[in-house]
Amino acid sequence: MFAVTTTDQPESPVGGPRGRLSRLRAYTLVFLHSAWSPTPLTFRRWALAGVVVNALIAVTGAAVRVTGSGLGCPTWPRCTPESFVPVPHDDHSPINMAIEFGNRLLTFLVLAVAVACVIAAMRLLPRRAALVRLAWIQPVGVAFQALWGGLVVRTMLNPVTVSVHFLVTIGMIAVAFALYARSGEGDAPPRRLVHRDIRTLGFVLVTAVAVLLVAGVVVTGTGPHSGDEAASRFDFDIETMARLHADTVWIVLGLTFALLFALHVTDSPGRARRGALILLGVELAQGVVGYVQYFLAVPAFLVGVHVLGATLVWIATLRVVFLMRSRGPAGATAPGPDRLDAVVV
C-alpha cells in the first residue's frame, strides 16, 4: 500500500498564530486546573504568585509617581471623563496616560491571583481554615485598594492618601507572605526554634522595619517626586525627614546584626541564620542605593530601585521571623515528640 501525501495540510499546531493560540489555551487550562484541583505544591505556587504580584504593583506604583504619571488618568473609575481606556487628552501626555493605565490594569492581575488563591484554599483537601482566612484577605484588600486608588485620584494625589495606598500594599505583601509560609507547614501549635528572647528580637525588628517604611513614605511625600505638578506635599523639612529616615535605617541595621549574632552564638537552625544573613545583605544594598540617590539629588530611576529594595527588605524580614518557629510539616496537627529537642528555652 502507498501513503498519499499532499502539501495542502493545515498549519501545524506547534507553529504560527494558531499554534501560539493553542499553547496559550493549554497554559490557561493548566493554571485554571491548578486552582480548581490544587495540590499542596500548586497551592504554594499560587501563594508565592500572590507575594510577587503584590510586590510588583508596589514597584509599578512608584514608577507612576516618579514619571509624573499620577494623574495620567485624571478621573476614576474612568481613565478620562469620556472613556475607561486612555484617549487623547490635552492636559496629559500619552506616555503618562499609558503608565497610569498600565498600573490600573495590573490591579486585575493582582485580583486574579487573589481569587485563584481563595479558590485553591477552598478546594484544597484537607481544607485548612488558616489558609482560607489568609486567602480571603487578599481579594478584600484588592477591592479596598481599588476604591482607595479612586480617592487618591480624586484628592489630586494628596500625600496622605498616597502614603496610605502604599502602606496598605505593604500590609498585603505581609498577608500574602504569611499565606505562602503557612502553606508550606502544618497546623500544629507554633514552636520556637530559637531562644524566646531571640524570637522577641525578631518581632522588634519587624516593628522597626515597619517604622522605617512609614518614615520612607513621609520622606517621599515631602520630596520632589509627587506624581504630578498639581499634587500637594507634606509641609516638612526634607533634610530633617531624610536624616530621621537615615537614623531609622541604622537602628534596623543594628537590630539585624544583633539578631544575626544571637542566632549564630546560640547555634540556631541554619535556615534562620541564613535568612538573617540574606536580610542583612539586602539591607546593606538598600542602604547604598539610599545614600547614592540622596547625594545625586534623588534621581527618578534610583527612587524606583529604592522602592523595590524596601519591598525586598520587608519580605526578607518577614521570612526571618517565620524561620524562627515551626508548626511541623504540612499535614501535622500536633508537635511531634521527636522534634521537641529543636526548641531552645
Over residues 50-56, mean pLDDT: 97
The candidate with the shortest Cα–Cα distance to 314, out of 207, 225, 194, 164, is: 207
Residues 90-126: tens digit of each pLDDT: 777 889 999 999 999 999 999 999 999 999 999 999 9
Task: State the angle between helix axes of 300-323 and 40-66 in degrees (0 to 180), rounded to the nearest 10.
Answer: 150
pTM: 0.88
Percent of the chain whose predicted confidence (pLDDT) is above 90: 67
DSSP string computed for 189-224: PPEESS-HHHHHHHHHHHHHHHHHHHHHHHHHHHSS
Residues 206-264: tens digit of each pLDDT: 999 999 999 999 999 998 888 888 888 899 998 899 999 999 999 999 999 999 999 99
CA distance 297 to 242: 12
**Cβ burial 43-54 (10 Å sphere, 16+ → b, else e):** bbbbbbbbbebb
CA distance 81 to 83: 6
Over residues 6-26, mean pLDDT: 60
Count of CB atoms within 10 A of residue 182's CB? Answer: 20
CA distance 112 to 52: 13
With beta carbons less than 8 A apart as the criterion, state whether 135 and 121 touch: yes
Strands of the chain (E only): list them. Answer: 191-192, 325-326
pLDDT at 111: 96
Cell of 47: 501563594
46: Cβ–Cβ under 8 A, 6 or more apart, which residues? 34, 35, 38, 113, 116, 117, 120
pLDDT grade for 345, boundaries at 50, 70 and 90: very low
The burial class, CB within 10 Å (0-12 / 13-18 / 19+), for 71 is buried
Count of CB atoms within 10 A of residue 334's CB? Answer: 10
